[in-house]
Structure 1
Amino acid sequence: MGSAASDAAAGSHSLSAQDVVRSLHTDLQRGLTELEAGHRLERYGQNVLPRAESAGPVIRLLRQLNHPLIYVLLVAGAGALVFGEGVDASVIFGVVLVNMLVGFVQESKAEAALDKLQAMVRTAARVLRDGRERTVPSDNVVPGDVVLVDAGDKVPADLRLIRPTNLRVDESALTGESVPVLKEAAELPTATPVADRRNMLYSGTLVATGAGLGIAVATGADTELGNIHRLVASAEELATPLTRKLAWFSKVLTAVILALAAVTFAIGVARGQGVGEMFTAAVALAVGAIPEGLPAAVTITLAIGVGRMARRRAVIRRLPAVETLGSTTVIGSDKTGTLTENQMTVRAVWTPDGRFDATGSGYGADGEILDNSGQAGDAHIGALHWCLLAGAACNDAALVHRDGRPGVVGDPTEGALLVVARKAGLDLERDVAVALPRLAALPFSSERQYMATLHAVPGQDRRVLLAKGAVERLLTLCTKEMSADGSLRPVDRDAVLAAAENLARAGLRVLAMAMKRVCATEQFDGSSMSTPLVFTGLQAMFDPPRRDAAAAVRACHGAGVAVKMITGDHAATATAIAGDLGLLDDGGDVLTGSDLAELPAGELPGVVDRAAVFARVSPEQKLRLVEAFQASGHVVAMTGDGVNDAPALRRADIGVAMGRSGTDVAKDAADMVLTDDDFATIEAAVEEGRGVFDNLTKFIAWTLPTNMAEGFVILVAIVLGAALPILPTQILWINMTTAVALGLMLAFEPKEADSMQRPPRDPRKPLLTRPLVLRILLVSVLLVGGSWWLYSWELANGATLAEARTAAVNLFVAVELVYLFNCRSLTRPMWSIGVFSNRWILGGVAVQAAGQLAITYLPVFNGLFHTAPITADVWLRILGLALLAWLIVAADKRLRKRLI
């Protein structure tokens, strides 16, 4: 952007209208010329957000090879191919190919969020060009254009407002403000934050009511929306706890495998064996030690978690996000539309003779008006009647149904006044539109601070004047107040102001209502009212919490997950909602964006840990909060629905967007989308996520002993100079068949009963705890010792080499089978879980048993895998050793129950 335009955009809210016009060299009456607009379009570029360059499909596919275990598999496959082991090489390369395709399909496209941001500003715009009003694509709006907006329009660029007319703008997607903002043209202090710049209209926001004229001061990437675009683009997309732990685990495992393979190769060569033979042995060791089934197990376990979450109304966009919520320690939740309904609701009606409470929430008609004794208030007489009638008749909104859901066209505040009148039994058509047809209106303005309407009374020569507005302002127009029976008395200003203050302190937005019967000659000149009014009451409203939100917050707290409200709304409103939800039960602090701005970076993590509510925060500060939580070691889930939430959603360990009310930008920046917009669904997602992580840990704890034992069996054979007890092809058979038929069945394991009664998993805790590592080593020793003993026993008792190896292969599988039942729970005994609670395991056992019989007795398998039939007494020894291994592991589980 050029210097003049840049200066105007940077501080246009603090400049007078004349200064903005001069700095942008434009004309309020004629706008720009078409020629000048064309020059500026070339100079500043189109009013669109820049696209991010993305890697092509080939690069994204090749990126999937960037993994330590994949490197080892590739080397092993190449070695097997060089030394003529075609079957082994084919299997190895097949595993690599499958992993590449899975990773390619699941890689998230970060540019999707930026594309949606770009689409948000593409609309039509009305501008003045050469003194005439023209409609142009918003892409062609340039700095200096004079832009006109009306109700329902999307603002095409950042505008300095010059002439507003009852203009209210819905900025919730940008700032988090829960109600449309009244706009005015007066200049503001330079330090005014974005959310409070009443003389600015921002690109991508929606005009709720009224009209206005403004000058475009920023377009494209220079708008506030463009600033968020840069934040989304620059926000680092973190690995999830699962991927971080698996990456570390893979590196360690790779180092161990390479070290063992190198030792095997060196020992064999030192003993005088051939280099080719030893390379083949090293490859066999590497292939045996690598858990080939791990990538598939991770993918399938996560995919099953995705299905379970979808049934609970949570859609996962990135598979690793399934388990991330299970490790989450902090949930940073937006208020408007996430913890609340995003539907203004009148909660209380105060009249000079008493208070009435309104039940129900949102724009639905369910609910009623109750007095202090719990009886329904009579809305057809006295002050209550005229208070409700003023709210419903002095009103420009309309109630509608969209997609089967109640909604409002116009100001949500006015929609709430219509709903409460209907709850009280007033018919909006009969009692308002027909009984009091409108004759004239004074629209709300910042100068008047009230709205007034004049109504005819059919069959009478008198008229009715109704008004609503700010309490202090409307009170100055009232000399009388109405009682419950309709009689009038002098207004008690102190009582009214005290009631309004009490309602506001509870986080409610308060409006005053007034009326006056006037004669037909009463002046109503469209600018002011000269007649004194009768005060009828106050209506207090708020955006109510979601029905199940408080219970969900309690459940999260019970599971050790902290919930933080992070909103752009005012502190008083946020505090009131937080109190209703129980967020402040433990005495958490309430901080504002100004408080955060004054905090040094080094103090931020400690301060935000103690706070429960963050109000009036900017998009940059939301992002900063996420980073501060992560700096304290937290796994952060960030929920939100607006454009302003997108950077934080992407930076968080898991971003959670709202499916119904959420913007496309938020959805594309998120890892998970809640289809019902219900915060309570997050509780279900946490539970499912913990179950997924548990099942992955169980699979790893189950598969590693076999891989380690296979590697050590080969190492021992090389050290002893003996024939291999199991061959490479037999290792591949064991690894691939047991992973599919046995290990993957753990992915279907039901969630453990105590998953939501334990604290979140410590993010610093390794994937495998020390007790689990010891158990893995224990089972590995049992496999190595058992297989060597059985192999040696069979040879010593006259068995052929093929028969001895077949016995060793079947022992490996038998021990894996019984150990699988031990792994169904890492802490509880098998019988406490229920043998039939996971029928998939029983089916897997049957399939694996059939496979072992086939490799043992079918001639074709004997030829492929160098096996031979064995007798019944060998099976008894195999089953006896497997039973012994099961008993030892069960005893170890009992001893270490409290440590895992």
Structure 2
Amino acid sequence: MAEPARCEAGPGETPREPPGGAAAPRPGIDPTERLESLFRDLRTARTGLTSREAARRLVHHGPNELRRRGGRRWPRELARQFTHPLALLLWAAAVLAWVAGITAVAAAIVAVVVVNAGFAFVQEVQAERAVEALAAYLPARARVLRDGRPRVIPAAELVPGDVLVIEEGDRISADARLIEGGVEVDLSTLTGEALPVFRSAELTGPGESPLRARDLVFSGTMCTEGQARAVVFATGMRTELGRIAALSERVERAESPLEDQVRRVAWLIALIAVLFGVAFIPVAALAAHLPLGDAVVFAVGLLVGNVPEGLLPVITLALAMGVRVLVGRGAVVKRLSAVETLGSTSVICTDKTGTLTENRMRVTAVWTAAGAVELGGGAGAGGPPEDRVRAAPAAPAPLAALAAVMVMCNNAHRDATGGLVGDPTEVAMLRAAAELGCPTGPAGPPGRRVRLFHFDPALKRMSTVDERDSGLWVDTKGAPEAVLPRCAHIMEDGGRIRPLTGARRADVERVVDAHARRGLRVLAVAARRLDPAAPPPPSRDRAERELALVGLVALQDPPRPEVAEAVAHCHAAGIRIIVVTGDHALTAAAIARQVGIAADPALVTGERLDAMSEDELDALLREHRQLIFARSSPEAKLRIADALRAEGHVVAMTGDGVNDAPALRRADIGVAMGRSGTDVAREAATMVLTDDNFATIVTAIRAGRQIYDNIRKFICYIFAHTTPEVAPFLVFALAGGAVPLPLTVLQLLAFDVGTETLPALALGREPPEPGLMRRPPRHRSEGVIRPAMLVRAWLFLGVVCAVLSMAGFFYVLLRAGWRPGAPTGPGHPLHHAYRQATTMTFAGMVAGQIGTAFAARTERASLRSVGVWSNPLLLWGIAFELALAAVLVYAPPFQALLGTAALTPDLLAIVAPFPVTVWGADELRRLLLRRWRGG
């Protein structure tokens, strides 16, 4: 970044530091007053504050943060857990039980609702905190003048009186008054207007409201263009954004597509349960001649048996755990719902520089009309400081001129430690200039900048107007195809300026192509001496004309070593990779070949893309799988994302610049660069890469697929228990009372709440199945709950578990001499056998639950392929489940509460094979399915 031009103190101002121990700025400061008065009221100067004074003011004013209304949201969030469809269904069951006089059952159901709501609430709070904690990985930063020098500090440490240094792409972190320069600012955060507005230190006017004042900028807004300095007059809750935050509640969290699907299924389950209850109460009471109390018991059991209580909290927890896992792998996901979307990504539109490559630029060669020079002493962004780079001997005039333009038309600068900081390309050019004999010293470049025409992604060039070499110059650098048309001359050997003929222009283009084929990035450098008596050019168009080509700069940015393997995984997973870059087509193609993206890609330039109609673009994307869009503008990314989404693809789009924000918002997964990206891009993105590495995108997609698969696994696990839970009540009702109730409502509640939850949570941490990244992406319209899953859960695993548990129940009763219709109530000889039989049903369901957990671990593969012991959390969950079941069966207090009875060793021996039976049946089903699909 450019070291901002030095500013002299204005009339009545002093550049010295505020006096030590000065009082804090007075409240009620008018930011639109005369600048001299504002500096006086804020007790600051154009050179900013000293570090000690800023530290004192930070204690007085507090951190520059918006304070949330702690503790006011939790009652509403907790109440929401009591009103979702599944909870409402349980409330209905509790009311039915209470009306029927079954107080114990009603109390138990209420306890289930309370425990489940508390669990879900805790998990949602933890998930929210996990997402909020991600801000620590990408802290907001601000550039300020401290002790007279530019410094980067946490935005929370800004205080009134600080002087902000604002540049394109920065998020403005406090309310401030511009004191020099001009910027375009996106005020949509405050005003809702999408178009940026221009703010300048020169645009002052009395009587304007703060938001309309043309020399004020505000916290939470974005600088989309330009450079400026501004003095901070309000921070934290005293800003305009803080005022709005104090008047409004936080925006409600939108449901993710996954949560919406699950909620729809919950309503479907509730409807089915109610219809079953309404239909079978008359059957039980009239056709089977059951007492009303028994009919109500049946209805309550049917309702409770149809409710998967742990479904919503387990899904929330699985997504939150996925977010935490991705953070550890370098991908900060800003929304829980994005974890689900990642798994279905079918196209990645990736930039080249810094994503596929290391973004450690090194100038390898320069070319002028005097000849080519290979450079070997420069280093990339991570190389040695420039003052340790050897200086070249006296260079020919074109080389000296090239070095001078490389230094002046450059926004990189030295930090407080003397090292170079800024864009890697510009840092590399400064180091190359030092090798050519034009170093940048501690005092800055050997000249004074008069005007800056910043780099424009659409124009692909940057220019400055500088005082250097005893004259006023326009210095320009940019893509050769953007700079050469602006050149009418070329600097020859000896420094003479000659016309740039067609033949010479063709020679230059051949040099550019030769470098590009080697995978080098090429920049053209040009200049023009201005008439010192005339004013500086007022516009970019008038500045960038009649230029003289000084030379070419070839830079090398090697591919990241881990990208090739990541690309291979993408190809195996059926994920298409499209390169969309602002670089030269041949350079992009060379890098794409090196990392394995494309062997013979179709190259589409920005001009060709702009000339295409929407139909032509759609046809191009369908016909060519290997595509590289070169010299593309950020607007091109938006068109490409729209076209791919229209074809039904789930698109991940990378970006780092201000103009990338629309495409990042439009893509299904906008991926911003955490290191090199702008604040605007990070705000617009769904996911931020803390290492700017393409391989991290693939890692995130793999994790997204794994998390999605695991959600399906524990949904299948939970749904599989519906059939064995409902079966006892159906047997009871259809038998007309001849068969006693095989499972009491309290035993059912103990099964649902006590033994089911931990294994379900453990399935959320299941390791990936073999071939996870060899499957094609799922379609964007595919739901997490599909008919095939419900058939497997309800009609296969559920039926097997129900048959086994019912077989155990009838075995105990028949062995005791029971016959249909025989009384089994308290005081009858068969009562103990009946209690043992219901306990056998309960134990059989627990055993079947264990078998279901192992079966649900894989959807297609065999259990052996993932390893029986590869999920230790599941083994601990099953151990807890068995221990809890033993307590419920053998502890006298629970025997009295639940109506259980101790099972003898021979009965336990009957139950012991149930898990293997359930798992084995599903293992056989999966084997047949694999053979059938293989055939």
2:381 is matched with which residue?
Answer: 363
Q: Distance in 1 between matches of 2:489 and 2:448?
A: 19
Q: Shift of the alpha carbon at 1:816? A: 1.7
Match of 2:429 among 396, 410, 417: 417
Q: Shift of the alpha carbon at 1:841? A: 2.4
Alignment-mate amino acid for residue 250 of structure 1 = A
Alignment-mate amino acid for residue 274 of structure 2 = L
1:539 is matched with which residue?
Answer: 553
Alignment-mate amino acid for residue 848 of structure 1 = E
Change (3 A) 1:324 1:96: same
- Alignment partner of 1:713 is 2:745: no
Alignment-mate amino acid for residue 691 of structure 1 = Q
Q: Shift of the alpha carbon at 1:367? A: 12
1:693 is matched with which residue?
Answer: 708
1:20 is matched with which residue?
Answer: none
Are the counterparts in 2 of residues 622 and 645 from structure 1 also a CA contact under 8 Å? yes
Q: Shift of the alpha carbon at 1:537? A: 3.8
Q: Deviations over 1:146-183 (max 9, x none)?
A: x9843xx644589xxxxxxxxxxxxxx999xxxxxxxx
Alignment-mate amino acid for residue 757 of structure 2 = V
Where 2:335 maps in the other structure, the secondary structure is coil
Q: Shift of the alpha carbon at 1:91? A: 0.9
Q: Distance in 2 between matches of 1:379 and 1:643?
A: 41
Change (3 A) 1:599 1:107: farther
2:277 is matched with which residue?
Answer: 261
Match of 2:509 among 494, 501, 524: 501
Change (3 A) 1:333 1:278: farther
Are the counterparts in 1 of residues 605 and 630 from structure 2 also a CA contact under 8 Å? yes
- Alignment partner of 1:243 is 2:264: no
Are the counterparts in 2 of residues 334 and 566 from structure 1 also a CA contact under 8 Å? yes
Where 1:428 maps in the other structure, the secondary structure is coil
- Alignment partner of 1:749 is 2:757: no
Are the counterparts in 2 of residues 787 and 811 from structure 1 also a CA contact under 8 Å? yes
Alignment-mate amino acid for residue 740 of structure 1 = T
Are the counterparts in 2 of residues 640 and 649 from structure 1 also a CA contact under 8 Å? yes
Change (3 A) 1:296 1:274: same
Q: Shift of the alpha carbon at 1:809? A: 1.0
2:116 is matched with which residue?
Answer: 95
Q: Distance in 2 between matches of 1:389 and 1:879?
A: 82
Change (3 A) 1:440 1:785: closer
TM-score (structure 1 length as normaliser)? 0.67
Are the counterparts in 2 of residues 390 and 514 from structure 1 also a CA contact under 8 Å? no
Where 1:92 maps in the other structure, the secondary structure is helix
Q: Deviations over 1:480-506 (max 9, x none)?
A: 426xxxx99999966652343246564
1:273 is matched with which residue?
Answer: 290
1:759 is matched with which residue?
Answer: 776
Q: Distance in 2 between matches of 1:426 and 1:553?
A: 42
Q: Distance in 2 between matches of 1:310 and 1:861?
A: 44
2:896 is matched with which residue?
Answer: 863
1:325 is matched with which residue?
Answer: 342
Q: Shift of the alpha carbon at 1:646? A: 5.0
2:523 is matched with which residue?
Answer: 510
1:200 is matched with which residue?
Answer: none
Are the counterparts in 1 of residues 82 and 113 from structure 2 also a CA contact under 8 Å? no
- Alignment partner of 1:819 is 2:852: yes
Q: Distance in 2 between matches of 1:536 and 1:615?
A: 22
- Alignment partner of 1:787 is 2:805: yes
TM alignment of 1:20-99, pairs within 5 A: 67-82=84-99, 83=101, 84=103, 85=105, 86-99=107-120
2:317 is matched with which residue?
Answer: 300
1:886 is matched with which residue?
Answer: 919
Which stretch shows the higher mean deviation, 265-274 or 717-726?
A: 265-274
Are the counterparts in 1 of residues 352 and 588 from structure 2 also a CA contact under 8 Å? no
Change (3 A) 1:210 1:279: closer
Unmatched tracts of structure 2, length 5 or more: 1-31, 35-71, 141-154, 164-172, 188-193, 197-220, 230-250, 455-460, 537-545, 817-831
Q: Shift of the alpha carbon at 1:725? A: 1.0
Where 1:896 maps in the other structure, the secondary structure is helix
Q: Shift of the alpha carbon at 1:872? A: 0.9
Are the counterparts in 1 of residues 588 and 630 from structure 2 also a CA contact under 8 Å? no
Change (3 A) 1:615 1:712: farther
Which stretch shows the higher mean deviation, 803-812 or 716-725?
A: 716-725
1:27 is matched with which residue?
Answer: none
Are the counterparts in 2 of residues 480 and 535 from structure 1 also a CA contact under 8 Å? no
Change (3 A) 1:543 1:239: farther
Alignment-mate amino acid for residue 681 of structure 1 = T
Q: Distance in 1 between matches of 2:640 and 2:788?
A: 36
TM alignment of 1:537-686, pairs within 5 A: 537-540=551-554, 552-564=566-578, 579=592, 587=601, 590=604, 599=613, 612=627, 613=629, 626=641, 629-642=644-657, 644-645=659-660, 649=664, 652-664=667-679, 666-686=681-701
Change (3 A) 1:450 1:650: closer
2:208 is matched with which residue?
Answer: none
Where 2:773 maps in the other structure, the secondary structure is coil
Where 1:861 maps in the other structure, the secondary structure is helix
Unmatched tracts of structure 1, length 5 or more: 1-31, 35-54, 127-136, 142-146, 159-172, 176-202, 212-234, 369-375, 457-462, 517-521
Q: Shift of the alpha carbon at 1:253? A: 3.3
Count of residues in Structure 1 that have an aligned counterpart in Structure 2 = 741
1:802 is matched with which residue?
Answer: 835
1:831 is matched with which residue?
Answer: 864
Q: Shift of the alpha carbon at 1:437? A: 9.8
Alignment-mate amino acid for residue 887 of structure 2 = A
Q: Distance in 2 between matches of 1:260 and 1:523?
A: 92
- Alignment partner of 1:291 is 2:308: yes
Q: Distance in 2 between matches of 1:62 and 1:622?
A: 44
Q: Distance in 2 between matches of 1:533 and 1:657?
A: 36
Q: Distance in 2 between matches of 1:379 and 1:755?
A: 59
Alignment-mate amino acid for residue 558 of structure 1 = A
Match of 1:725 among 732, 737, 742: 742
Q: Shift of the alpha carbon at 1:632? A: 3.4
Change (3 A) 1:413 1:88: closer
Q: Deviations over 1:671-696 (max 9, x none)?
A: 43322233321111111111111222
1:399 is matched with which residue?
Answer: 413
Are the counterparts in 2 of residues 418 and 428 from structure 1 also a CA contact under 8 Å? yes
Which stretch shows the higher mean deviation, 590-599 or 259-268?
A: 590-599
Q: Deviations over 1:364-390 (max 9, x none)?
A: 33799xxxxxxx998766589646644
The alignment's C-alpha RMSD in Å is 5.8
